[in-house]
Chains A and B, each alone.
Chain A
């Protein structure tokens, strides 16, 4: 079973700053079937990135995904107020699917 470990648990930043979130897999994800989701307070998650680096429909280009193998990252180039939220990674080439435990991006 593949385990996804996200770090840091909490990231304290100011609007306009760059955020880099990490998702590390317990073994290589040869297919790069890695997704990122954003969950704002009181809302359902929404898909941001799939295939490790492809933005979902309607996602601003300040969001980017990168990585391969066991190490993946989500970068928000300049944080907007609405970007302060919880972010989850997911490996979807497995059944049942696996989620990381989440990273909270909070206002410093």
Chain B
């Protein structure tokens, strides 16, 4: 099982980035998927999630209206579009798999991609 994030980097305040997560060795379409972030030296913060078929999405209040999550099950891929970026969005962003089923723990995490928002 492998989840690989990409797309992180340096962005200016107000700018945009698109993060991607590619899954291999998993039944991608069988799992709800999520993004969780961790600011430098801080704890874990839930960012966004998307159900198996992509019909429903959820966002933390801190990113609602600025971030958009999507998935492409045919290519085992999930994206997170980050817009109107703020300095407080600086963090490592983890792609996370929810255990198969509903209301399950997060059983597999990618290694993360670092987003830095700075002028």
User: Residues of A at under 8 Å CB distance from B?
Assistant: 31, 33, 35, 37, 43-47, 50, 56, 88, 90, 92-93, 95-102
Contact = CB atoms under 8 A, between A and B. Distances in A.
B67 to A, nearest CB: 12
Nearest to A94: B103
Nearest to A95: B58
Interface of B: 34, 36, 43-46, 48-49, 58-60, 94, 99, 103-112
Contact of A45 (B46, B59, B99, B109): B109
B105 A44 contact: no
B112 A44 contact: yes
Given A33-B105, A97-B34, 7 more contacts: A35-B105, A43-B111, A47-B105, A50-B104, A50-B105, A90-B105, A102-B44
B31 to A, nearest CB: 14
